[in-house]
Structure 1
Amino acid sequence: MEATEPMDMSAREIRIPLDEAVAVLQDLNEFVVSLDRLGSREASGTADDSTVGRFVADWDVARRLAHARRVISVALDEQLSEQDNAAIDALCDQGRFYGA
């Protein structure tokens, strides 16, 4: 792959339908608040190591986060060039992944 100029994302915007943005925000809010509460429970000794795993499974966290990623990805794909999307994909590939 050829080296390309870094994409300037500071002033660029994309649009996401409000109902989809609100649904993603609700999911993220539930996860953040719940994980914070679980962390507090673990710190106080009222939850064990398996509690977070049960939360992730019971609340279908992986599927709901995948949906949030898909909402954003669709908006990016529809509104940015193929080159811009390739640059974003490359940035995402540089993320930290558990178990890697």
Structure 2
Amino acid sequence: MPLSEVVAILQDLNEFVVSLDRLGSGQAFETADECTVGKFIADWDVTRRLAHARHVIDVALDAQLSEEENAEIDSLCEQGRFFGMGSADVTSTDRPT
């Protein structure tokens, strides 16, 4: 994986983590609401940028690991928690650490 791609992904992830933390703090202090979060996600093209990061990492792993190892990673990823799946929705008492 080229270093420039790694750095670009790390920059994107850093922007998202810091910005989402600030948005969360804004919601806690009632200076931001759900619309603000949605606007951030849309305006900053978060979904596409995260999908790109996932793709770059996936391609790099495919090139480095065996088919069995990649299948195991795929299986583990499918076991993740996904918002919008009913009881799997993250609540205020069920946040990842």
- Which TM bucket (shorter chain)? 0.7 to 0.9
2:48 is the alignment partner of 1:63:
yes
Question: Which of 74, 81, 86 lines up with 1:96 in the alignment?
Answer: 81
CA drift of 1:76 comes to 0.5
Q: Give the CA deviation at 1:64.
A: 0.3
Which residue in the other structure is 1:42 paired with? 27
Structure 1's unaligned 5+ residue stretches are 1-15
Counterpart code for 2:6: A
CA apart distance, 1:42: 1.1
The equivalent position to 1:25 in structure 2, one of 6, 10, 16, is 10
Tell me which of the two structures has the higher relative contact order, counting C-alpha pairs closer than 8 angstroms and 6 or more residues apart.
1
Give the CA deviation at 1:45: 1.2
Give the TM-score normalised by the residue count of structure 1: 0.82
Separation of aligned partners in 2, 1:93 and 1:41 = 32
TM-score normalised according to structure 2 size: 0.84
For 1:73-88, what aligned pairs fall within 5 Å after superposition?
73-88=58-73
Overall identity of the aligned pairs, in %: 73
Bigger radius of gyration among the two: 1
Letter of the aligned partner of 1:84 in structure 2?
A: E
How many pairs were matched up? 85
C-alpha RMSD of matched pairs (Å):
0.8
- Structure 1 stretches of at least 4 aligned residues deviating more than 2 Å after TM superposition: none
